[in-house]
Amino acid sequence: MQQNEFIRIRAIIRGRVQGVGFRRFVYRQAQSMAIGGWVRNNPEGSVELEAVGEASAIEIFMREIKKGPFLSRVDEVEQIQKEPLAHHPKVLFIIR
């Protein structure tokens, strides 16, 4: 992985991830690592996210997501998309 390599990743997180502050946890992690993107609840009980930023920061971010906040339980993190970006992304993260 090269320094300043930027990527976009989309993932679905399954487990006890709704009603436990999971989206707020994801938001705070993203803010602390200068990662842009979004997080949302899905109707079937999973959480979906898109994250954009430096590849090294995204790697650390995803490790933290697998841990989740105190009341959550992460059973699975399914990466559904990963792609390189040609330029520095906007660093804005929102909860949908």
Give the residue numbers annotated as catalytic, written as ranges: 23, 41
3-state SS, one letter per residue, for the chain: CCCCCEEEEEEEEEEECCCCCHHHHHHHHHHHCCCEEEEEECCCCCEEEEEEEEHHHHHHHHHHHHHCCCCCEEEEEEEEEEEEECCCCCCCEEEC
